[in-house]
Amino acid sequence: MTEHVKERVVSLPSCVEIPTDGIDVWEIDARQLKIENRIASGSYADLYRGTYCSQEVAIKVLKPEQITREMLREFSQEVYIMRFVGVLSVFDSGICASSEFMARGSIYDYLHKQRGVFKLPSLLKVALDVSKGMNYLHQNNIIHRDLKTANLLMDENQVVKVADFGVARVQSQSGVMTAETGTYRWMAPEVIEHKPYDHKADVFSFGISLWELLTGELPYGLLTPLQAAVAVVQKSLRPTIPKHTHPRLRELLERCWLQDPSQRPNFSEIIDILKQIAKE
């Protein structure tokens, strides 16, 4: 950053300090960042399309009037985890994070708003993209905790990347975590029940998302999110797999959403299975 920009940087409270390995790769030159049109708005942040050094980027800007200490903690955690795909800048006009712009939006919107369809080869490619991204996170001891199609973004070449690390966490040394985080329709039963959980909770959510890719339907679409959560825990409810689904894909789905987390596959195994199906 230039001296002029540094003078405008806000001193953040200790709760918002970004963990660092000594190399602040997340800082950017604000002079090179151009914010253009707003493309989405949430309860605590707006999302804009823009450019950074002539590269298209998506820019998340926190709403100053909505900022709380807990929100800043989540934002700092998100920045720490997304450093390999994003950058951060802090100004008196607000706090923003910039990452690669994914032109085709979320898989959720593609399926449910645009009524898009994935045939098996495309479905397997998307599933592989997601699995590779999740495998990378898990290898780095990071649990996403909110894996769902709304957080899977697609670029103009149909490359899909995992996004939104606002509730992701570095896994504790004990290997388990607690507290309910995520979205009920995609949430693992152990998370719904506030039980200790690990990275296998992400595998469950992946299985639900994979079913969604396969069918184009909303998981448990006839139930409210809360009704779905209760049924998943108390009745072991799972989505109905279409009759003519590839047998290896059916088996993978059923393994991903097993009630016992230890019996679910790791993403490294999921990658191998998807590659094998693609070759058949």
DSSP 197: B
Closest C-alpha to 192, from 145, 237, 230: 230
Helices (H), the chain: 3-8, 69-81, 107-112, 120-139, 189-192, 200-215, 225-234, 247-256, 267-279
- Answer for the pair 45, 36: CB distance below 8 angstroms, yes or no: no
Alpha-carbon distance of 162 to 105, in angstroms, equals 12
Alpha-carbon distance of 70 to 181, in angstroms, equals 14
Give the tokens for residue 270: 């999921």
The identity of residue 154, as a single letter, is M
Which residues fall within 8 angstroms of residue 174, CB to CB, at 6 or more apart?
none
The identity of residue 92, as a single letter, is D
Q: What are phi and psi of 249, to 5 degrees?
A: -70, -40
**CA distances, 156 to each of 24, 101, 272 (Å):** 30, 10, 26
Which residues fall within 8 angstroms of residue 156, CB to CB, at 6 or more apart?
103, 104
Which residues fall within 8 angstroms of residue 269, CB to CB, at 6 or more apart?
none
Active site residues: 146
